[in-house]
Structures are given as C-alpha cells and as structure tokens.
Structure 1
Amino acid sequence: MSTSIRCLIVDDEPPAIRLLENYVDKVSFLELTGTTTKALEALQRIENGDVDLVFLDIQMPDLSGIQLSKIVKDKVQIIFTTAYPQFALEGYALNAVDYLLKPFDFERFYQSILKVKQKDTLPTNSIATKEYLFVKTDGKNNYEKVYITDILYVEGLKNYIAIHLPNKQIITYSTLKHIENALPPAIFTKIHKSYFVAIPHIQKTDSFHVYIQNKPLPIGEKYRKHFFEQINKKKL
C-alpha cells in the first residue's frame, strides 16, 4: 500500500457519504478516489485496482455490502459502515478491518483508520488476523488458534489473561491492554478493569452485572454509563 491510502466510499444514502467525505478530508494520509451509491460500480473500481480501502455500507440495492465483500475478498481492506449491529459478527468473519455502527463520530472513525495504518498493534504472546488469534500457551512455540467469534469474555489476572470460550479457558502471559488491540470494538466492550465481554454472548444484564453462560460478571462504576449506552443502541 502506498503512503496515501486510496479510499472509496460506498453508501446509498447521500448524507452518510457527505459525513464520510468530511472525515476523510481531515486525515492527511487518506486519499479519496471517489464515492458511489452503487455496489456494482464499486466492484468495478476495486477490480481496476484503484482502491486500497473501502468504506462500505451493508444495506445496498442490487448487491449488499456483505455480498460485495465476499466477491472482492482480499483485494481491498474494508470498513463496514451500517446502522445494523446484527451484521457485526458476519462482518468480522469476512476479515473486515472494522465495523462502524451509525451514527459514529470522528474519534471512532479515526480509530478504524489507525487499524489500517498501524500494523504493529498485536497483543503480546499472540499472532492475530481479523478472524482469529493464535494465543501462546505453554512452551516456546506452542500456540492455540482461537476464533474471535468464540470468545465469550477475557479476564485480566495480574500478569496473565484468561480467554473464556464456550467449553474451556486459555490462560496466557499478557494484559488486557495488549489484547484490546485485537478485539473488534463493535463486538467487545470493557465492563470492568478486569473484564472485556463479547456483547453478542451476553444473556442478560442488571444494574451491576452482565451474565454470560449464567456466570455474573461485575460492571465497574467507571464503565457502567458507556456500557449501557452501547446496550441501549441495540435494544428493540
């Protein structure tokens, strides 16, 4: 990829395009190559090799963003922009860089851009892609593959972390701060100084706990407001 990241905005809503144009214009290393309201036109531009990064809406006429992503595969990097949180897991399974849930502010947008620009953001003791992690276990070269969508929550244990999966946990020498860079923020949220949880795996909440596989996890006072703001965005 060149010094400037060539990007394309694909959205069928003009106000959404204008917002992204404004955000892109504020970032010196982004070069806007064009915008389109048609996924088929975007496909042609990608096939021509003129694009490095696509800001891609999911709900599009003729061809959805998910379908387009499956067609282009690894030819470009993709940041999904959508008002529908239910597509987040599928988006990350397709190796999207990030998943921006509308409405999003410039700070959240810039966090996504840094994921594209910065390559040295992997947690200590892990090798990560956008779909899974290889987590170091016992031994010099022992790693275990962990799919992002299988992670229920991550627990901090002083100089170690425990990655909780449906049927087991993996403990590795690392910190929550390190693994945070590999966890998609549209899916994972910090509820306590010692816990990151996967929102799709939450069964229920009360004022002080979230429940995952019937296990209560504490919500810290510092994180309560932000957590329930996220939950309210996804309620019926």
Structure 2
Amino acid sequence: MTKIQCLAIDDERLALEVMEAYIERIPFLHLAQLCAKPMQALEFLARNPIDLLFLDIEMPGLNGLEFLQAIKTPPLVILTTAYPQFAVDAFELNVVDYLLKPIPFSRFLTAVQKAQAQLSENQQRNQNLTETKPLDGNIFIKSGSKTVRVDVQEILFIEGKKDHVMLHTRQSQITTQLSLSSLMEKLSSDQFLRIHRSFIVALNKIESIERNRVMIDKKEIPIGEFYREDLFKRIS
C-alpha cells in the first residue's frame, strides 16, 4: 500500500517532536519533512508532492490560515492549535480536521483515518473519470440498471431536470442520475458549453441564437445571464 506523504509545520520544537512520534506509529503515514518556519515549508511544497499537511495556526510572520490561503493547490490539511476560536475559519477552508493541543494520540489517529478515507475517495473518483473519458467519440453513461454507450457527436443538448438529467440526441433521450457537472467533465469543452444552470449544449448543433435563447433541433433552450458572456465569446 502506498504511504501517505506528510509534512508537519509548527514553530514549537516540542510540537514537531510529538507529530514525528505520532506519524511514526501509524503504518500508512510517511513523514516527508518537519518545518519550523512557514516559508521553509512553502519551498519544500514547491519541490515535493505532499498528500497531507499538519499545520499549526499561531506562528510568527505568517499564521497557518494565511499560509493555507497562499497555497494554490493545497494538499489535505489537519490543523493543530491550542486556540479553539479559529475553528469556524478553518473549516471554511475545507480542512480535514481541527486538533486542539495537547493532542491525544487517539484523536490524532481519528483525524488521519479521515484523511486516508478522503484520499482514497479522491483517487477512486479520479480513476472513474479517467476510465469514462471519451474514447473514439463515445462516453458511457449509467442509465437505470444499464450502462449505455453514447456517441458524443450525436448529442444535441443535455437538460437538467429536478431529480435527473436527460441527454437529447436526434434518435433518443437518455436519462441518468449523473449531475450536469459530472457530465461536463466527461465531454470536451471545445465541443460543449454550459449556457444555463439546467442546460449544456453541443456548440456545433446550435441553429440560431435569438435574444435569451438558442435553437437546436426546433427546441428553444434558454441562455442564463451568468453564462451569456462566455457563450458569445465562444461563437464570435
């Protein structure tokens, strides 16, 4: 099993020693680096892939929350602090967990198990997306109890209903529980565009545009105000 690569940042040496000892006790963790200074950690992150970051909040120069906001694509983060008042701000940054010092090992273990589960879920999601990318112009869509192959070139538009999504082709309509966002990830952004919160259209199937709607196969499809500028950029 591939180990989770960890980085611990804390300006207190004793706190780093505790992190080091705890990480060594857990077989699926590997400590890549201990950092006493945030800038040192930024340099390390720029050169090394990290899965999980243990991050103190109260540090001189750059606190943990500012540090986290400075990272363009942060790894999973578990915050470690002696100050409970930062909890709300922390969870708004989508951290995995928030550990209050002194940290019991049992509480530390619970937090890293949550991180392990989230990493596993992310890897599975990425694998599924890779497996369902278009191949020779086809995508596979779960529809009821069946998985249906759909020729991408046959798709006219995709419509989001209240409790399902419908792919419209000239020959058929295919219902799926996938979200519009999930379907958009399967399709080429060069060929398809979301023009409304409930509609994705095939750009080469648009017959005309009039005011707040497009026409595709005699079907009027609304253009959402939020999506209008992007649509006209794409067709200009």
Q: How high is the TM-score relative to the length of structure 1?
A: 0.49
Q: How high is the TM-score relative to the length of structure 2?
A: 0.49
The structure richer in helix per residue is: 2
